[in-house]
Amino acid sequence: MDVSDESLALAAAKGDRAAFAALLERVYDRLFALAFRLTGSRAEAEDLTQDICAALPAKLRSFQGQAKVTTWLYRVAVNAAHDRRRRQTTHARAAEGWGDWETNRRAANDEDARKIIGLQTMIRALPNDLRDTLALVLDDLTHAQAADILGVSEGTVSWRISEAKTRLRKMKEGIE
């Protein structure tokens, strides 16, 4: 008997309440961090995490231990991010995002933080597929793992990463 994430997830999939609570507690912050990288905004990340939490119990039923929980969760998160973007047909959210950006900008005083905000803005400016790929790879996943989660080939992941880097570099040059 071991309590790996996988066994917790399997127990939870079968209706074990305590296992579900323990699992979610374990992974929540990690999920949030990924959500932040996928959305590039704190408010959006909070909402996306909420979407994932709401849907997780139902999704979990299909978890059959065929993948690592983290891999599986990342897939759920990426899909939830896709769904969310699809739903955002108006610009209302984007406007809020800028409000968020402004708050961040005012809160930031030192050089480092300004760099960070520049980075966030730049990352938000990336196309969705590049941003998703980058978010996963920045979260210490290998290209192969990211490819598995996104359902694309490893080569595509590598290409997207280099493309994202190129674009970020160009944006950076544009700013400086």
Partner 1 sequence: MSDDLDDLKDLMQAATPQADPARKAENLVLAQKNFDDLQGSKDKRRLSSVRSDKGLFRGVIHMFANFPLRGALVSSTAIVAVAMIAVFPQFSGDSVSNGPLGGLTSFSGNSSQETQVELSGDAEQAILGQGSDSPDIHTDLDVEFEPGLAETVVVEEAAEISLDAVEMRARPSAQPVARSAPRGLAPALTAEPAIIAPEINTETFANADDNPLKVTAEDPVSTFSIDVDTASYAVVRNSLMAGRLPPVEAVRIEEMINYFPYDYAAPQTGQAFRPTVSVTNTPWNEGTQLVHIALQGAQVTERPPLNLVFLIDTSGSMNQANKLPLLKQSFRLMLGQLRPEDEVSIVTYAGSAGRVLDPTPARERAKILAALEALDAGGSTAGQAGLQQAYATAAEMAEDGQVSRVILATDGDFNVGLSDPEALKDYIADKRDSGTYLSVLGFGRGNLDDATMQALAQNGNGTASYIDTLSEAQKVLVDQLSGALFPIADDVKIQVEWNPAAVAEYRLIGYETRALKREDFNNDKVDAGDIGAGHQVTAIYEVTPVGSDARLTDPLRYGAATEGRDPSELGFLRLRHKTPGVEESQLIETPILADMDEISQDARFGIAIAGFGQILRGSDLMGDWSIDDAIGLATDTRGTDPFGYRQEAIGLMRLASSLTD
Residues engaged in binding partner 1 (CB under 8 A) = 1-5, 7-8, 10-22, 24-30, 32-33, 36-37, 42, 45-46, 49-50, 53-58, 60-61, 64, 68, 70, 108, 110, 112-113, 115-117, 119-120, 123, 134, 137-138, 140, 161, 165, 168-169
Cβ closest to partner 1, residue 60 vs residue 147: 60
Minimum Å gap between C-beta 156 and partner 1 is 17
To the nearest whole angstrom, how small is the minimum distance from the Cβ of residue 94 to partner 1? 19
Distance CA(136)–CA(73), nearest Å, equals 12
**Cα 101 to Cα 139: distance, rounded to the nearest angstrom:** 23
E strands, 56-105, are none
In the complex with partner 1, the residue whose CB is nearer, 42 or 82, is 42
**Considering only CA atoms, which of 25, 133, 143 is closest in space to residue 81?**
133
- Count the Cβ atoms, other than its own, within 10 Å of residue 11: 17
Select 32 or 72, whichever has its Cβ closest to partner 1. 32
Q: Which two tokens stand for residue 61?
A: 């039923």
Give the nearest distance from C-beta 113 to partner 1 in angstroms: 5
The residue among 28 and 91 lying less far from partner 1, judged by its C-beta, is 28
Minimum distance of partner 1 from residue 50's CB (angstroms): 5
Nearest CB to partner 1, comparing residues 25 and 176: 25
| Dihedral angle, C-alpha 135, 57, 47, 87, nearest 10 ° | 90
Q: How far is CA 105 from CA 7, 98, 108, 168, in A?
A: 43, 10, 5, 20
